[in-house]
Amino acid sequence: MQNRVLLVEDDDELRQLLARYLTNQGFSVREAANGNDGLSLARSQNCDIVVLDIMLPDISGLDVLRALRADTHLPVVLLTARGDETDRIVGFEVGADDYIPKPCNPRELVARLQALLRRIAWDQSVEVDAARTYGDLRVEPSHRRIYQDDKPLELTATEYEVLQVLLAHAGSVVRKTDLMQWALGRRLEAHDRTLDMHISNLRKKLGNDDPPRIETVRGLGYSYRVPT
């Protein structure tokens, strides 16, 4: 079965290039040249993942992402201007799962999409009765949901992956390099703050514990502390 991608990009040449490459790699691709059309397609058409440019001619890609996060958990990969860290930070705060700087390498885009979709498919193959509890958190892998005090946490696909890896190693240090590979499916590169942004968002969503339940172990990685 083909994975279905919605590609929202106003640059016709780039969009068509990426669409052709994705199609050749076995994806089913729908295209939109502006934010409103992209939002409409995402809501009305069945798709598995969204590739979304931040700079669109009608409404900002970040506004599209906000609207999507209000009623869907679709994984979203942002296309951002190279070196524009502000957009990337805001994108993660709004709910992006990953980002790729423009001009982007089509092979890298395919690798990111495949890694994200593989993790989702693996979790959905886990048995329904494999729920696990860590203090006030309950992980239900078959539904890709994590509950805090029986209330579902509103997590992006990548936030879910990061948190469930930390929970599986609760009380131990997970190296950043390992967490990046296990949760995002790629290597940790120099100056890449993707993981830091996801950790920051998770801390906010889990509540302002003191000390924080996701602890930074300087020079190594992160450790999840189960509250007592």
Q: Which residues have a Cβ under 8 Å from the Cβ of 72 and sit 6 or more positions away?
A: 42, 43
For the stretch 68-77, pLDDT in tens is 998 888 899 9
CATH topology of domain 4-122: Rossmann fold (3.40.50)
Which CATH code for domain 128-224? 1.10.10.10
Task: Round to whole Å and give the CA distance between 135 and 155.
Answer: 18
194/186 Cα distance (integer angstroms)? 11
The length of the chain in residues reads 228
pLDDT tens track for 97-144:
998 988 888 999 998 898 888 877 765 555 445 688 999 999 988 778
Phi-psi region of 207 (alpha: psi -120 to 50; beta: other; left: phi over 0): left
For residue range 34-46, what is the model confidence (pLDDT) as tens digits? Answer: 999 999 999 887 8
Residue 197 confidence (pLDDT) above 80: yes
Domains 4-122 and 128-224 share a fold: no
Q: Residue 175 — φ and ψ, nearest 5°?
A: -65, 145
pTM for the model? 0.74
Give the residue extent of every domain in the chain: 4-122, 128-224
Q: Rounded to the nearest 5°, which phi and psi values hold at 172?
A: -115, 160
pLDDT at 166 over 60: yes
Query: What are the CA-CA distances from residue 53 to residues 158, 164, 207, 216 (Å)?
Result: 18, 28, 31, 32
Cα dihedral sign, 165-119-159-129: negative
